[in-house]
Amino acid sequence: MRGSSCSHMDWLELRSTVLACTRCAISQTRIQAVFGVGNQQASWMIIGEAPGAEEDRQGEPFVGKAGKLLNNMLTAIGMPRETVYIANVLKCRPPNNRDPKPDEAANCRGYLERQIELVNPALILVVGRIAAQNLLQTDAPLARLRGKEHSAPLSGTPVIVTYHPAYLLRQPADKRKAWQDLLFAREVAARHAR
């Protein structure tokens, strides 16, 4: 799904299209597509990889333990969940939470690009290597993507990359680095305030 095929859609039409999408095989194993949630005029957009089991059940991104940690991270920098818009690269849960396949990410790309266009955020915070590599169309490791200001390919929106909250739950020692990323994101957002 390239940007042009849904570039005319408003929020309602885009959401309906995503929820009914059957472009790849994972649509057959999902409970429901997970569109995105939050403030549609947010200054920050958070982009993750794909829904997990709890997200698939509830139809909302970042609702499990990783979601609670993300909420705490956002609150700590003065951006509570209800003030941001949260979406994923993939709109359906891959079986057994495996990494998204390139064609699956490509099928959802136009949806994500349109969400970015509709939100028109001042900053995109990407959480996790898979989401960062997909959004920025790179194979660079997370360590090389963190600590730098990137630009979203179509919109040119500033992009900051940090660890996925699920990773931080497994590796709490890296929470300090994630905090530095959040402070950097806040700094970049202030420079690009609209």
Average pLDDT over residues 144-155: 95
Q: What residue type is 93 in one-letter code? A: R
**Lowest model confidence (mean pLDDT) among 5-9, 85-89, 115-119:** 5-9
pLDDT tens digits for 72-81?
999 999 999 9
pLDDT tens digits for 28-58?
999 999 999 999 999 999 999 999 999 999 9
Spatial strand order of the sheet with 85-88 comes to 37-38, 85-88, 44-48, 123-127, 158-162, 150-151
pTM for the full predicted model: 0.95
What span, in angstroms and rounded, lies between the C-alpha atoms of 118 and 137? Answer: 21
| pLDDT number for residue 3 | 42
Domain 3-191 has CATH 3.30.565.10: no
- Per-residue pLDDT at 173 exceeds 90: yes
- Per-residue pLDDT at 152 exceeds 60: yes
